[in-house]
Structure 1
Amino acid sequence: MTLYKNMATRINQAQHIIVLTGAGVSTASGIPDFRSSGGIWEQDRSREYYMSSEYFQKEPEDFWRKYKAIFQMKLVGTYHPNNVHLFLQQLEAKGKKISIITQNVDGLHERAGNTTIINYHGTLQSATCPTCGTSYGLSYIMNSETPYCNDLYGSTPCGDILKPDIVLFGDSITEHDKAEAIIDQGDLLLVMGTSLFVMPFNFLPDYAIYQRSLPSILINREETMKDNIFDVVVHDDLSKAIHHIQRFLQ
Structure 2
Amino acid sequence: MISNSRNLTSFIPHARQITQEDVQLVSDFMLKSKKLLILTGAGVSTASGIPDYRSKGVGLYARSNQRPMQYSDFLENDENRKRYWSRNFTGWSRFSSVKPNLTHNFIAKLEQLKLLHWVVTQNVDGLHQRAGSSRLTELHGTMHEVICLQCQKIILRREFQDILSKLNPNWTVKSIQTAPDADVFIAENEVMKFNLAKCECGGVLKPNVVFFGGSISKDINEEVKQHVDEADSILVVGSSLQTYSAYRIISRASDMRKPIGIVSIGETRADHLASFKISINCNQLFENLQLSAYS
TM-score (norm 1): 0.87
- Once the two structures are overlaid, the 10-residue window that deviates more, 102-111 or 194-203, is 194-203
- Give per-residue Cα distances to partners, 1:1-54, cap 9 Å, x unaligned: 223212212212322211111100000110011222242245555534xx2222
Deviations 1:121-173 (A, max 9, x none): 111111111121110001122121533223xxxxxxx1323122111133222
- How much does 1:61 deviate? 5.2
Which of 200, 222, 231 is residue 177 of structure 1 equivalent to? 222
| Pairwise CA distance, 1:228 | 2.6
Instruction: Give the match for residue 60 of structure 2.
Output: 40
Native 8 Å contact 1:22 1:103 kept in 2: yes
Question: Which amino acid in the other structure matches residue 100 of structure 2?
Answer: P
Paired-residue identity, %: 29
1:15 and 2:57 correspond: no
2:196 to 141, 146, 152: 146
Residue pair 1:99, 1:116 contacting (<8 A) in 2 also: yes
1:163 aligns with 2:197: no
Once the two structures are TM-superposed, the CA of residue 94 in structure 1 deviates from its matched residue by 0.9
Structure 2 portions without partners, runs of 5+:
1-19, 165-194
Letter in 2 for 1:4: V
Equivalence for 2:156: 137
Aligned to 1:189: 234
Aligned residue in 1 for 2:261: 217
Q: Which runs of 5+ in 1 are unaligned?
A: 151-157
Letter paired with 1:149: C
Q: Name the structure 2 match of 1:106.
A: 125
The offset of 1:89, in angstroms, is 0.5
The 8 Å contact of residues 8 and 246 in structure 1, kept in 2 or not, is answered as: no
Contact 1:65 1:146 in 2 (8 A): no
Name which of structure 1's ranges 175-184 and 34-43 shifts more when overlaid on structure 2. Answer: 34-43
Total equivalences in the alignment: 240
Report the Cα offset of residue 245 of structure 1: 2.4
Work out whether residues 125 and 138 of structure 1, in 8 Å CA contact, stay in contact via their aligned partners in 2.
Answer: yes
Match of 1:53 among 41, 65, 71: 71
- Asked if the contact 1:23/1:194 (under 8 Å) is kept, the reply is yes
Cα distance change on mapping 1:45 and 1:173 into 2, 3 Å: farther
Alpha-carbon distance change, 216 to 35 in structure 1, aligned in 2, over 3 angstroms:
same
The alignment partner of 1:101 has SS state of: strand
- Taking the aligned partners of 2:86 and 2:120, their CA distance within structure 1 comes to 24
CA contact (8 A) 1:105 1:121 kept: yes
Report the more deviating stretch, 78-87 or 9-18. 9-18
The two structures have a TM-score, normalised by structure 2, of 0.75
Residue 232 to residue 240, structure 1, CA distance change in 2 (3 Å): same
1:241 correspondence with 2:285: yes
What residue identity is the alignment partner of 2:293? L
C-alpha distance 73-65 of structure 1, shift in aligned 2 (>3 A)? farther
**Structure 1 counterpart of 2:224, which letter?**
A
SS of residue matched to 1:249 = helix
Q: Secondary structure at the match of 1:136?
A: strand
1:214 is displaced (CA, Å) by 1.7
What is the CA distance between 1:185 and its match in structure 2?
0.8
Amino acid at match of 1:244: N
Write the distance in 1 (CA, Å) between the matches of 2:291 and 2:259: 21
